[in-house]
Amino acid sequence: MSVVFILTLAAPVFAIELPKGKSGRDFVKEAKAHSRGILSEETKRLMDSGNPVVLLDIRSFAEFKKSGWIAGRTVMPHGLVIFAIRQLVPDKNILIIICGQKDKRSAMVAYQLQQMGYENVRYLKGGVLVWKRKGLPLITSGVSKIANKAAAPKGEMPTGKRAADFVAEANRAVKAVGPREAKRMLDNKGGVLLDIRSAQEIESQGGLAGALIMEQGMVVFIIAKKVHDANTPIIVVCRRGKRSAIVAQQLQEMGYKDVHHVEGGFLAWKKVGLPVK
């Protein structure tokens, strides 16, 4: 009787290197160390006072629909604030209160505005969720439109960082690649094409097949749940290539080692004839 021995080879195990840089919590902690919060009750009193106050709601339209909004607020999604704020609020001294669903993204935006030279910026502590919990009034129906004109009278312009300065700083830290090179990199090495545009942008402009969709303000909080390995190539894309530079820099600070962003953004990708959907 012969005995047959079967040799079973174990599948190779590939080690994952977790990113060891900053976490979303670290970004928020840094922002709150340099910015000031304001309570819901005080915000309501100031909004009712008739004095100049800009309540800047940076949430997504999905969040408006889910939770409602505060009367008198101005809509400006998180990623667009630094690019539009000087036109929207051309006075560094007017009180600006940043409102989010909670207060993580709003604290980060408040810190950015302080760096831009705005001298009277606050973030709404606890955001709309705490406002609602305290029984303060919310509007739950109607149309929300992104602000396209000044929400405050002209005064003394801020003289701090400009949006271009944030982008230039990011581009010094992270290399931009052209759309064709980005596509070659993804085809050759694999990795993640991270689309940080809003749902409204993707609906109106078109999407990217196989892209991981994650709105800009949420990236630092949820990317680690989606991309576990610090060595995974990540190529970030937005509409024109400015917001993506800033997000790519954040990812690098979080410990991801192979990060680029698409120069010219989705518009450049589409212009050279790469596939969209």
* Catalytic (active-site) positions: 238
β-bridge pairing 259-262 and 234-237: parallel
Residue written as tokens 């502590």? Answer: 125
CA atoms within 13 A on the CB side of 157: 8
Closest CA to 221 of 26, 1, 14: 26
Closest by CA position to 93, among listed 26, 11, 154: 154
Query: Which pair of tokens denotes residue 9?
Result: 């080879």
What separation in angstroms does the CA of 63 have from each of 17, 251, 263? Answer: 34, 24, 30
**What pairs with residue 234 in β-bridges?**
192, 259
CB neighbour class for 49 (10 Å; exposed up to 12, middle 13-18, buried from 19): exposed
Cβ count within 10 A of residue 274: 16
From first CA to last CA, the distance across the chain in angstroms is: 64
Q: What b/e sequence results for 6-37 when a residue is b if at least 16 CB atoms lie within 10 Å of its CB, and e otherwise?
A: eeeeeeeeeeeeebeebebeebbeebbeebeb
Do 239 and 197 touch, CB atoms closer than 8 A?
yes
